[in-house]
Amino acid sequence: MPQPQTGQYSLATGEAAVRRLNLLHKTYGPGGRNLLLQAGLKPGMQAADLGCGVGATTRGLAEMVGPTGRVTGVDVSAPQIEQAGQACAAAGHTNVTFVEASAAATGLPRNSFDLVYCRFLLLHLVDPADCLREMRELLKPGGILAIEDGDLTSAGSLPPGPQNSFADLFGRLGPTRGLDYAMANSLVPLVAAAGFPEPNLQLNQPVALRGEDRYLLNWSVKEAAPAFVAEGLLTQAEMDATIDAMDKESRDGNSVILMPRMFQVWARKP
């Protein structure tokens, strides 16, 4: 069996990622839009979306900057870029370009973007400071940094139930891969240390009471199940039982499901 590498991404990519990332966008999209408006995103701006996944955030940015603006989506995964390109074309966006590259070395022109954004990216990186350095270099002087990153250990349900396995499993998986899925708690000092004085912070913790929204934590645990088992966090039989219990709570339960608390940070490059 291939050995997991430090920093290895443990969730699905390509077509298999589309359903979960679209639900994630339904959950976090409205809060993200508020953040971008508050941070100062305007029509006509040049924006970059690092770790763009299947392009849900990129499409949102494309709508917000409008036909006179441009958005560049960057992801290290070719299957993600392919899905993102297809979805953008289907939505009729002509102001978007996608680039397959590491978020820490995008190859994009320096000092050229009005806004650089990422969502649920930094927690997947061994060295988030490296990516922040790149984001700063891409921005024009006075340009806007906007970041959304969730603390995966803050998710669960009220009252506590099977959904709490999400926080437990991701919390324990991170260190086995050199990652900290709760790094969002340190986002403000990290951003300040990257050369963005006086970063702003607000928190967004969506809840799910009904319908498909109740499945986001389950689907995430299902996607990462091979990683949890490969790292010896639980046996395959225990994994199957955990997924069954989470599915049952989502389907039949009356609990309040708490999504990971999202740290929304924005700042300007001096």
Ligand X SMILES: C[S@@+](CC[C@H](N)C(=O)[O-])C[C@H]1O[C@@H](n2cnc3c(N)ncnc32)[C@H](O)[C@@H]1O
Q: Which residue's CB is nearer to ligand X, number 11 or number 230?
A: 11
In this structure, are residues 96 and 88 in contact, taking their beta carbons and an 8 Å threshold?
yes
Q: How far is the CB of 50 from ligand X (least distance, A)?
A: 6
In this structure, are residues 222 and 245 in contact, taking their beta carbons and an 8 Å threshold?
no
Q: Which residue's CB is nearer to ligand X, number 53 or number 156?
A: 53
Q: Which residue's CB is nearer to ligand X, number 255 or number 260?
A: 260
Q: Which residue is nearest to ligand X (CB)?
A: 53
Q: How far is the CB of 248 from ligand X (least distance, A)?
A: 25
Q: What is the DSSP letter of 26?
A: H
Q: Which residue's CB is nearer to ligand X, number 76 or number 190?
A: 76
From CA 203, how far away is CA 265, in angstroms rounded?
9
- H helices, E strands: number in the chain: 8, 10
Task: Give the helix/strand (H/E) hosting 157.
Answer: strand 156-158
By the criterion CB under 6 A, which residues form the site for ligand X? Answer: 9, 11, 13, 21, 24-25, 51-53, 56-57, 75-77, 80, 102-103, 119-121, 124-125
Q: Which residue's CB is nearer to ligand X, number 85 or number 161?
A: 85
Q: How far is the CB of 233 from ligand X (least distance, A)?
A: 20
Q: How far is the CB of 161 from ligand X (least distance, A)?
A: 24
Q: How far is the CB of 38 from ligand X (least distance, A)?
A: 18
> Among 91, 261, 267, which residue's Cα sits nearest to residue 192?
267
In whole angstroms, what separates CA 216 from the centre of its chain?
13
Residue 121 CB neighbour total at 10 angstroms: 24
